[in-house]
Amino acid sequence: MSKLVIVESPAKAKTIKKYLGSDYDVVASMGHVRDLPENRLSVDVKKDFAPKYAIIKGKEPLVEKLKEQAAKNDMVYLATDPDREGEAISWHLAYILGLDLNEKNRVTFNEITKHGISVGMKNPRTIDIDLVNAQQCRRILDRLVGYRLSPFISQKIRRGLSAGRVQSVALRMIVDREEEIRSFVPEEYWTLDAKFLIPKGVGKKAFTAQFYGTAEEKIKITSKEQSDAILAELDGVSYRIAEVKKGTRKKTPAPPFITSTLQQEASRRLGFQSKRTMRIAQELYEGVDVEGMGAVGLITYMRTDSLRISEDARNQGNEYIRTRWGEQYLPEKPRYFKTKASAQDGHEAIRPTMPGLDPEQVKSSLTSDQFKLYKLIWERFTASLMANCVQSTTNADIAAGDKYIFKASGYTVKFDGYTVLYEASDDGEKESSGALPPLEKDMELKLKELLGNQHFTQPPTRYTEASLIKALEENGIGRPSTYASIISTITSREYVTREAKSLKPTELGEKITGLMRERFAKIVNVKFTAQMEKNLDSVEHGDADWVGTLHEFYDDFEKNLAEVKKAMEGVTLKMPDEETDIVCEKCGRKMVIKTGRYGKFIACPGYPECKNVKKILNETGVPCPKCGGNVISRKSKRGRTFYGCSNYPTCDFVSWDEPLKEKCPRCGGILFKKNTKKPKVYCASEGCGYVKAEE
């Protein structure tokens, strides 16, 4: 009996085929095959939001091939990803291929390993229509909001803009934070920081302590005058240890990753944008060729918000820990992390499929990015199984004369536990990590230094990808699987720019948020959007009807939109043009940057009297080594920067490496900089061979 298994990607197909053998054909659907066409709304609102699906443009030959292959086989299994989107893809495939929805032809794999595939194939089920309806509901909801709101915003602000149900809330959060920063008024405060020495013969090392106040209350110092007055009172007083408290504390490891925490930690530790993290995680899940093993999935499914792990994986991880570090590095009782009540517990946490396979064993088979992410996932999972870190703490109160108190604290590591391997990047100590010298009650201290230091309270920081994802998750906005696309959308549309790791709203982003806040308050209301997510979850659990859920939202939204259109009839919100230092050679005005259908361009502000326009060229100020024209920077389709001649196509000079204004000291040619992990400056002139020594 011949069987066909349909998955989403060729990489996954290759890995699964290896385990299923010759009785099975395994093919890829290349993601979605049927969807709402983009060139129209494709939803019949009057007929209870009936979707008008069609084969995705360009996928017709693939669909025909899938039909042919399905016809040749006695059984078809739908093995798309185990989530809402995967379930919907299977449902669309079943429709296209004419499969019976009552037949148990749906299989899911939590991990692409021999065991994971065996478990999946032994437990086929029918397509989960509640899961499909939840995906349909979200898809139609987002289509309605996007296609009804975007034209309105484009008309009122600028052509080509878009709005979305979740992206607009994320943008509002970033804009709100920027407004908080602008309105922040710094407050002055002072600290009194002391250094003390203990008696000779006991110890030599100085230790630090901070002014606290009196024994009765903490004193906040808000001015130099107050600071100077206290320093004057402290002049000449004696210092002694009033109290010493010694104790032990335990630090527990962080749980294994879920989708959101993986994106946050990869951003903080590796500098990966969430989109990059999810792409690499998908590769590790679907399977990579590992030397000596062939194609194998190295991690479990990467779209999950469950902290559950299988007992088999726990046992394998424990065995690795026992062998490498010893029995003492395992806790007395296994540690179980509690999953949030709102989480979808269908999958395990993100973990290595083979806990005994440490990163160094597979390093040679992985790309640099794959290795970094696998190492992060492996270490986090392994550490989550390990014993607590045990610290010895010391807290001391220091009496300054008869009135004031200073406080000092420190700790030493008694047992490193899980920290021998991994410590979360947001898990660092706020206090001094050094040990205090041996301190005893009533010990006399010698003051080495006492300084009054001025400080100012700081405004809240801008969101980074990591902190925005954390905020979205905490507020129940979107789902972990959507965070990467949300951030990608608002940055690619230039509503938000990146400054180092920070996300800063552009003037355009603020203008859109201002309009949305004023006219569509519900759409950008955090609590309302979070409730909508709960409603979608209810559809998934079979507790709510998807059509009713759409009516509940859309009927009110459509009424709101009609009222706003009437109120703003004839009103447009002007965006000021960005002035450049380029002078229009036709009329002498300073030209401005405008945005049209095909992107940004430079134009004369004197239009329609003066119609002078220019392309935006990102000039490097370096002459072309081939023809002497200007070298300009461009972007490839994948967003990678490369350099070419402004006289293209007449001149075909192109380079991935950055040309520098600095001349080669050996031959006078143009120097180039290779922007890799270890940057290198070199001369490309034939026969020169100059390479700049690393400084």
End-to-end distance of the chain based on CA atoms, in angstroms? Answer: 68
> For residue 158, what are the contacts with CB-CB under 8 A and spacing of at least 6?
508, 575, 595
By 3-state DSSP, what share of the chain in percent is helix, strand and coil, each rounded to 5? 35, 25, 40
DSSP conformation letters of 85-144: HHHHHHHHHHHHHT--TTS--B---SBSSHHHHHHHHHS-B---HHHHHHHHHHHHHHHH
Beta partners for residue 192, in sequence order: 452
Which of 301, 411, 422, 495 is catalytic? The answer is: 301
How far apart CA 202 and CA 192 sit, in angstroms, is 26
Residue 315 Rama label (left phi>0; alpha psi -120 to 50; beta): alpha
630 contact partners, CB below 8 Å, separation of at least 6: 617, 619, 620, 621, 622, 623, 624, 645, 646
Q: Does residue 271 come out as left (phi exceeding 0), alpha (psi in the -120 to 50 range) or beta? A: left
Strand pairing report for 3-7 and 24-28: parallel
DSSP secondary-structure letter at 270?
Answer: I
Helices (H), 270-334: 274-286, 311-324
Contact 6, 278 (CB under 8 A): no
CA distance 228 to 238: 18
User: Which pair of structure tokens corresponds to residue 656?
Assistant: 């991935």
Rounded to 5°, the CA angle 563-569-575 comes to 110
Strand pairing report for 618-623 and 502-505 = unpaired
C-alpha to C-alpha distances, 183 to 46, 177, 459, nearest whole angstrom? 46, 10, 9
| Closest to 324 measured CA to CA, from 252, 420, 390, 413 | 420
| Integer Cα distance of 431 and 452 in angstroms | 19
Q: Which of 301, 289, 256 lies closest to 110 in space, CA to CA?
A: 301
Helix (H) and strand (E) counts in the chain: 17, 28
**What's the CA gap between 79 and 88, in Å, rounded?**
12
Whether the Cβ atoms of residue 51 and residue 42 lie closer than 8 Å to each other: yes
With both helix axes pointing from N to C terminus, report the angle between 129-156 and 84-97 in degrees, rounded to the nearest 10: 100
Is it true that the peptide bond before 37 is cis, omega within 30 degrees of 0? no
Question: Does the bond joining 649 to the residue before it have cis omega, within 30 degrees of 0?
Answer: yes
| 189: annotated active-site residue | no
Helices marked H in 287-388: 311-324, 359-362, 368-384
The secondary structure of residue 352, as a DSSP letter, is B
523: Cα within 13 Å, side-chain hemisphere: 30
Tokens of 362: 């597979």
Residues forming beta bridges with residue 97, ordered by sequence position: none
Q: What residue type is assigned to position 73 of the chain?
A: N
Task: Catalogue the active-site residues.
Answer: 301
